[in-house]
């Protein structure tokens, strides 16, 4: 049984159809990148997976069960607003942990939060008691990542988590996420759904890439790295196969954007 | 000391300006009617003479003010949160809230006197009601306009409803709620004078009202200055509390 099965899912906001029949099968431990231009509905699919929206058409099954509400078995990392600004960085992690690990004492929660802060490259001695506004954007996203991994949820939903960061910080965080995912948790590797509009980010992180078309959204291209070596940061721009794939993906996205523009002008 | 002086230099200079302006307009240029605007040299000694009465009034006023304001704080915030969170309840109640809050509280004095067992309780009710509508209104809009992403974030980690209320909803809504509380506290002072017209035999508002009836405008001025000092101190304490609650906001 696939870990996540998305069967013919459509979704509309008011009367505007956002997702028009999405089908996906994802195995446990896959790192799925949902790639596409802004407004193509990839974040909407993530919200459906999180249980923040419900669909009337089609169904989404996790381990064979339909999603009915949000829950920490599908932890989410937001682009912004991932941390509550009135709580310290450490408290932001422990408040999530204590919902799941109800029997843990305060000191155990703090120890786990600190350990995961260290795992994502933060020094808890310095960062733990700081408010989100007192630390940098990169540190905030590290903290949100630490929170997500510390929850040890089998599924992680990441909605352009590094979209607002500078290139260097972004690269460091991508490496952190990738190594933590590769290392795995108590129950093996986590299944990750990672929304991005950057082709290189998808190539670097994903085991499976799904490209979303627009208006209404559907999957127009799939690529899996399973059974072959994943691109590496050091070699991906010199590897002819990866570059060919990269160019192909960029062309598919560009063609889709042009086609949408033509459709739009034909309607107007 | 020098640092404190530097910190409050602007405030001190404006204060000196106001006092100097008053002296110029009264004692020096005689522009203002000395009967309504007595000279400060006359007013200031009266402070000492009437200080026992002023302090007695302060005590009595504070009981009315703090009882009414605290009740409105508890009632306004709890009911406001409830209405703010439930869109159906909000839809059904909004016309009635608008209708009742539009009635000037001061016009309800006869009803309050009739309904409540004592003048004192009636006075507290008048202050309560005036503040209540302000706090209720701001709390409803504060809760309504909480960024949904905070609530979604809480839902993702399966936070329970009580914890969500105290750890997410109230902190997220607190900047706007506290704006309402500041306005309500000032409103409480305005209503104090009305409430003390019938519900008191002493008080800061009563003091002004009483001597105004006897055309003792020197003592009226004493009352004005005293009430202003009390308001400034109270607002300062309130601002300190506000800064503590809003430690996490950028502008704080």
The pLDDT > 70 percentage for chain B reads 98
CA distance B153 to A95: 11
Kindly tell me if the per-residue pLDDT of B150 is higher than 60: yes
What is the average pLDDT value for chain B, to the nearest integer?
Answer: 93
**List of chain B residues whose C-beta atoms are within 8 Å of the C-beta of residue A52:** 152, 155-156
Is beta strand A208-212 parallel, antiparallel or unpaired with respect to A219-224?
antiparallel
- Contact predicate A9/A45, CB 8 Å: yes
Residue carrying the six token digits 């991932």:
A82
Which pLDDT score, from 0 to 100, does residue B199 have? 67
Kindly tell me if the per-residue pLDDT of B22 is higher than 60: yes
pLDDT digits (tens, 9 = 90+) for A180-225: 999 987 778 999 999 999 999 999 999 999 999 887 788 999 999 9
CA distance A153 to A87: 22
Interface test with A, best of B146, B154, B155, B157 (most A CBs within 10 A): B157
Cβ within 8 Å, pair B153-A50: no
Which whole number is the average pLDDT over B70-98? 96
Kindly tell me if the per-residue pLDDT of B252 is higher than 80: no
Residue B66's CB: how many other CB atoms inside 10 A?
15
CA distance A178 to A157: 14
Which pLDDT score, from 0 to 100, does residue B195 have? 86
Question: E strand or H helix at B55, and its extent?
Answer: helix B51-85
Which pLDDT score, from 0 to 100, does residue A157 have? 97
Sequence ranges of the domains in chain A: 4-230
Q: Does domain A4-230 have CATH number 3.40.50.300?
A: yes
- Contact predicate A84/B171, CB 8 Å: yes
Tokens of A63: 């381990």
Kindly tell me if the per-residue pLDDT of A39 is higher than 90: no
Question: E strand or H helix at A5, and its extent?
Answer: strand A4-13
Tokens of A161: 């988590």
Question: Which of B77, B75, B54, B78 has its CA nearest to residue B125?
Answer: B75
Which pLDDT score, from 0 to 100, does residue A268 have? 64
Question: E strand or H helix at A195, and its extent?
Answer: strand A191-196
Give the one of A70, A81, A99 whose C-beta lies nearest to B149's C-beta. A81
Q: What is the ipTM of this complex?
A: 0.90
B206 CA to chain A: closest CA distance, Å? 43
Which pLDDT score, from 0 to 100, does residue B208 have? 92
With bands split at pLDDT 50, 70 and 90, how would you rate the model's confidence at A263? confident
Report the residue of chain A nearest B175, measured CA to CA. A86
Q: Does A228 touch chain B (CB under 8 A)?
A: no
**HSE-CB for B218 with a 13 A CA cutoff:** 13
Interface residue ranges in chain B relative to chain A, Cβ cutoff 8 Å: 147, 149-150, 152-153, 155-160, 167-168, 171-172, 247-250
H-state helical runs in chain A: 42-50, 89-100, 106-119, 124-127, 137-150, 167-183, 199-205, 240-267
Q: Does A151 touch chain B (CB under 8 A)?
A: yes
- The CA dihedral of A235, A238, A242, A246, to the nearest 10 degrees, is 120
CA distance B54 to B60: 10
pLDDT digits (tens, 9 = 90+) for B87-144: 999 999 999 999 999 999 989 999 999 999 998 999 999 999 999 999 999 999 999 9
Q: Does A74 touch chain B (CB under 8 A)?
A: yes
Cβ within 8 Å, pair A84-B160: no
């Amino acid at each position: 049984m696939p870990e996540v099965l998305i069967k013919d899912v459509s979704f509309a906001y008011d009367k505007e159809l956002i997702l028009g029949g999405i089908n996906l099968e994802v195995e446990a431990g896959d790192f799925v990148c949902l790639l596409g231009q802004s407004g193509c509905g990839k974040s909407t699919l993530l919200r459906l997976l999180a249980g923040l929206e419900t669909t009337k058409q089609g169904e989404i099954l996790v381990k064979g069960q339909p999603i009915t509400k949000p829950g920490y078995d599908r932890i989410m990392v937001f682009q912004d607003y991932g941390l509550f600004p009135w709580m310290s960085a450490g408290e932001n992690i422990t408040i999530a942990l204590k919902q799941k690990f109800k029997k843990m004492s305060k000191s155990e929660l703090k120890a786990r939060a600190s350990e995961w802060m260290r795992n994502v490259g933060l020094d808890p001695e310095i960062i733990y008691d700081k408010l989100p506004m007192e630390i940098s954007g990169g540190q905030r996203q590290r903290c949100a990542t630490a929170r997500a991994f510390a929850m040890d949820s089998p599924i992680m939903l990441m909605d352009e988590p590094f979209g607002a960061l500078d290139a260097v910080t972004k690269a460091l965080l991508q490496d952190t996420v990738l190594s933590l995912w590769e290392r795995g948790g108590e129950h093996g590797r986590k299944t990750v759904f990672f929304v991005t509009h950057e082709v290189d980010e998808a190539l670097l992180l994903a085991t499976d890439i799904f490209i979303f078309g627009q208006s209404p959204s559907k999957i127009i291209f799939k690529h899996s790295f399973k059974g072959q070596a994943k691109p590496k940061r050091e070699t991906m721009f010199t590897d002819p196969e990866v570059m060919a794939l990269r160019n192909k993906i960029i062309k598919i996205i560009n063609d889709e954007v042009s086609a949408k523009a033509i459709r739009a002008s034909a309607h107007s | 000391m020098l640092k404190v002086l530097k910190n409050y230099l602007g405030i001190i200079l404006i204060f000196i300006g106001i006092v100097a302006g008053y002296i110029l307009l009264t004692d020096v240029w005689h522009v203002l009617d000395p009967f309504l605007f007595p000279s400060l040299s006359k007013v200031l000694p009266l402070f000492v003479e009437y200080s026992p009465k002023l302090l007695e009034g302060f005590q009595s006023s504070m009981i009315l003010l703090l009882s009414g304001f605290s009740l409105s704080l508890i009632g306004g915030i709890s009911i406001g949160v409830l209405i703010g969170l439930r869109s159906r309840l909000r839809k059904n109640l909004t016309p009635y809230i608008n209708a009742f809050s539009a009635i000037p509280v001061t016009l309800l004095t006869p009803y309050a006197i009739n309904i409540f067992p004592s003048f004192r309780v009636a006075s507290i009710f008048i202050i309560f009601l005036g503040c209540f509508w302000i706090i209720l209104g701001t709390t409803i809009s504060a809760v309504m306009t909480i960024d949904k992403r905070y609530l979604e974030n809480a839902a993702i980690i399966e936070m329970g409803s009580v914890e969500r209320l105290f750890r997410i909803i109230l902190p997220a809504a607190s900047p706007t709620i506290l704006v309402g509380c500041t306005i309500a506290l000032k409103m409480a002072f305005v209503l104090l004078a009305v409430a003390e017209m019938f519900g008191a035999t002493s008080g800061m508002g009563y003091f002004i009202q009483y001597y105004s009836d006897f055309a003792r405008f020197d003592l009226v001025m004493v009352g004005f200055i005293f009430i202003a000092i009390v308001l400034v101190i109270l607002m300062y304490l309130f601002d300190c509390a506000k800064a503590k609650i809003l430690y996490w906001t950028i502008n704080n």
